[in-house]
Amino acid sequence: MAENAIGQSVVRREGREKVTGQAKYVDDLSFPGMIFGATVRSSVPRGRIRTISFEGTIPWNEFVIVTAKDVPGKNIVALIEHDQPYLADGMVNHPEEAIVLLAHPDKYLLEEARRHVRIEIDPLPAIFTIEDSLAQKEIVWGKDNVQKSFLIETGNMKDAWTNGHVVVEGAYETGAQEQLYIEPQGMIAVANPADGVTVRGSLQCPFYIHKALIELFALPPEKIRVIQTETGGGFGGKEEYPTIIAGHAALLAWKSGRPVKIIYDRAEDMVATTKRHPSRTKIKTAVDKQGKLTAMNIDFVIDGGAYVTLSPVVLSRGTLHSFGPYACPNVKITSKAVATNTPPHGAFRGFGAPQSLFAIERHMDRVARKVGLSPDEFRRRNFLSDGKTMPTGQIVRDGVDLSALLDRALELSHFHDKRRRFARENTTSAIKKGMGLATFMHGAGFTGSGEAYLASIVAIEATKEGIVRVLTSSTEIGQGKNTVFAQIVAETLRIPIDRIEVTMPDTAIVPNSGPTVASRTAMVVGGLVAEAAKNLKELLKKKDIHFPVKVTAQYQQPKDISFDDKTYRGDAYGTYAWAVYVAEVSVDTVTYEAHVDDFVAVQEIGKVLNPTLASGQIEGGVAQAIGMVLYEKVEWKEGRMVNGQMTNYIMPTSVDVPPIRVFFEGVPYRHSPTGAKGIGELPMDGPAPAILNAIEDAIGVSINKIPCLPEDILEAMERSRA
């Protein structure tokens, strides 16, 4: 079965349906009697709802209308904290908060009606920035606006700054970013007291929705069913928000007794759903005469928005990556997620790590300059390697050789040759070129004891016809889970891949193998699939088997991995992917436009299960990160995104991306039966600092804030000239 097995570029399982237009996404589905739902939102960032009135010449009696008082169970979106309502009741805390739901068979009349719901709100003072939230200009959440905080301390910070070391301080900022999956969010719900609630839609995490709908409807788990439809991209954007749309569609269906479809249009999707958390990081480091880091003081803050949602775990991952892939004896990290009156920020590929790694990797370049070392040499002197300890106390055991990765990346990108050449040529050219690099890691799987707590289960069924069915709640969102799981089973059972079915998640059928997030699907769930396949193989050796048979496998924390959630010490992640990225950039000093001309991505991701899919993940992530750095800027006004169109929120097109050259090293992960590590989020982390480091190399101007659009480059060049 070599051609079907692990390590081969097996063709995407659902690819044929996708290239022929036959794949069914949520908006492609219809049910008898189905009507359409719409959401009426707040108009102000913060205030008290006074009145809701239904105006105009709309036939309101034909409409299904749902407000907070129609909620059968608890009006909360059950996730980490129970602070967010499904429908605002009394207070609104951000300008896109849902207040009224409408449904009608005619989409056009529905849209007309939405414009005629008048909601009077008495405004209250609101805050929109990290600074105002930290300064408690208004208290908009809890006692002090702080949704979560962490402290990590190791060594002795006191003496590190005094004895002749080079001390460098810096402040770094990252902005919001829209996931901009090309398929807008949507759900279809069927709900009634007799049968319970069934929702279908575009989503990453079926059991998140399942859990929340149990609370919303006060129904037993077996009365809630969540089914994924083909999903047109997620990137974290369909991690938590689909729970809200599912609930809204279900509330309308529950009240009307008819199937209800809610599909967001692009504008609603962009302004109302979650985006990447804006952040600011302050870093102070000391370096000794040998160019070794002796102390790091990092203060990392993210803007959580109006409700907590996933901010504590985003903060956690950001915090646990904030020190980069470097060893340092004395480290103090403080971090906070603070509330503002913007729509809650949420999961987005990288989940906090791109923000804090941007800061440390920009900082490392600045320190290298200060101590007179090349950016690669300074990093090399400080790399973590096997046996070294991270600030969390975690001892690296990945068998990683970052120096070798760095060498390879420098060579493939001609880093030093080009740097020298550009420095020469830039003096006479209006287009200035530069080279920049970033070295980083990305922890695979849930943070800390997350995986142990989740205790994911997968199941595999075999029928007497010889069909093997893989049952997990992992969703195919384009990353290739269907294909990779089939490859794993084919390899383990030595059967042709076309006898394997990878089931579309349906909570009535599949066990809870956890959400499709955190670069965990291939590594953690794929590992369980391999284990279950092994169990099946053993079972099939027995005589007298009554088909169909079903086997399961459940996650168990390896004995040598432990994390203390209280002290935040221990093995933050079972393993990490490690990478060195190099960007070649040109800056046009006529228009201040920066363009990435070449991009080299070298990474160690464990065993590569499917090279085409794996490199596709890296290429897509790098392009998305290039967008985050050079093109994509969310324009805010009073907590509301005002450029919520694809015309005005600029993502890279096919002419904007450079050649993205992807290279893998593979040291198999010791605790994964397949040897795979996480990969999906890694490529989001490195490009931002690599590109800004290259811009500094090109124009000699230090820019420490992303996004960095031509207007920002102009401003920075002027500041540096002044």
Partner 1 sequence: MITPKNLDEALTLLADRAAGWKPCAGGTDLMVLFEAGKLNHTKFVNIAALTELHGIEERSDAIEIKALTTYTDILKHATIQREFPSLVTAAALTGAVAIQNRGTIGGNIVNASPAADSPPALLAYDAQVELISVKGVRRLAYADFHKGYKQMDLQPGELLKSVLLPRTHAELHHYYRKVGTRRAQAISKVCFCGVVEREDRIKNIRIALGSVAPIPLRARRTETFLIGKQLSSKIIDEAKKIIDQEISPIDDIRSTAKYRRRVTQNLLEEFLCGTGSTN
Partner 2 sequence: MPKQIITCTINGQSQRLDAHPMSRLLDVLREHGLTGTKEGCGEGECGACSIFFNGRVVNSCLVPALQAEGATMTTIEGIANGEQLHAVQEAFLKYGGAQCGICTPGMIMAAVALLKEKPNPTEADIREGLAGNLCRCTGYMKIFESVMRVFKGKGTDLEETCPHK
Residues forming the site for partner 1 (CB under 8 A) = 111, 115, 267, 430, 589-593, 595, 631, 635, 642-643, 647-648, 650, 652-656, 709-711, 714
Nearer to partner 1, 540 or 650 (CB): 650
Please tell me whether residue 330 adopts helix, strand or coil conformation. Answer: strand
Token reading at 446 = 């849930």
Least CB distance from residue 201 to partner 2, whole Å?
14
Looking at the Cβ atoms of 84 and 624, the one nearer to partner 2 is 624
- State the nearest-atom distance from the C-beta of 438 to partner 2, in Å: 17
CB of 346 to partner 1, least distance (A): 23
What letter would DSSP give residue 369? Answer: H
3-state secondary structure 182-248: CCCCEEEEEEECCCEEEEEECCCCHHHHHHHHHHHHCCCHHHEEEEECECCCCCCCCCCHHHHHHHH
d(CA 443, CA 574): 8
Select 564 or 711, whichever has its Cβ closest to partner 1: 711
624 binds, among partner 2, partner 1, none (CB under 5 to 8 A by kind): partner 2
Q: Please count the residues of the chain.
A: 722
User: Among partner 1, partner 2, none, what does residue 593 contact (CB within 5–8 Å per kind)?
Assistant: partner 1
Choosing among partner 1, partner 2, none, which partner's interface includes residue 631 (Cβ < 5 to 8 Å by kind)? partner 1
Please, which residue, 502 or 641, has the CB nearer to partner 1?
641
Residue closer to partner 1, measured from CB, 300 or 649: 649
> Across the chain, how many H-helices and E-strands are there?
18, 28
Nearer to partner 2, 9 or 535 (CB): 9
Q: Give least dist CB 416 to partner 1, A.
A: 29
Q: Taking the complex as a whole, how short is the minimal distance between the CB of residue 595 and partner 1, in angstroms?
A: 8
Rank residues 14 and 656 by Cβ distance to partner 1 and give the closer one: 656
232 binds, among partner 1, partner 2, none (CB under 5 to 8 A by kind): partner 2
In the complex, what is the shortest distance from the CB of residue 270 to partner 1, in angstroms, rounded to a whole number?
Answer: 13
387: left (phi over 0), alpha (psi -120 to 50) or beta: left
Q: 574 touches which of partner 1, partner 2, none (CB within 5 to 8 A by kind)? A: none
The helix-helix angle for 687-699 and 353-371 (nearest 10°) equals: 30
CA quadruple 238, 243, 247, 253: dihedral positive or negative?
A: positive
Q: Which does 20 bind (CB under 5 to 8 A by kind): partner 2, partner 1, none?
A: partner 2
Q: Smallest distance, Å, CB 628 to partner 2?
A: 12
Largest Cα–Cα separation, the chain:
84
| CA triple 72-78-84, angle to 5 deg | 85
CA distances from 49 to 120, 244, 288, 481, 605 (A): 6, 20, 59, 45, 51
The site partner of 12 among partner 1, partner 2, none (C-beta below 5 to 8 Å per kind) is partner 2
Q: Give every strand in the sheet of 457-462, ordered side by side.
A: 500-502, 468-471, 457-462, 549-554
Integer Cα distance of 201 and 229 in angstroms: 5
| Rounded least distance, CB 27 to partner 1, Å | 16
Compare residues 565 and 635 and give the one whose CB is closer to partner 1: 635
* Positions in the binding site for partner 2 (CB under 8 A): 9, 11-12, 14-25, 27-28, 179-184, 230-235, 265-266, 477-480, 612-613, 615-616, 619-624, 645-647, 651, 653-655, 657, 659-660
Choosing among partner 1, partner 2, none, which partner's interface includes residue 616 (Cβ < 5 to 8 Å by kind)?
A: partner 2
Binding partner of 140, given partner 1, partner 2, none, CB within 5-8 angstroms per partner class: none
Q: How far is residue 48's CA from residue 88's CA, in Å, rounded to a whole number?
A: 10
Q: What is the dihedral angle through the alpha carbons of 43, 44, 49, 52, rounded to the nearest 10 degrees? A: -10
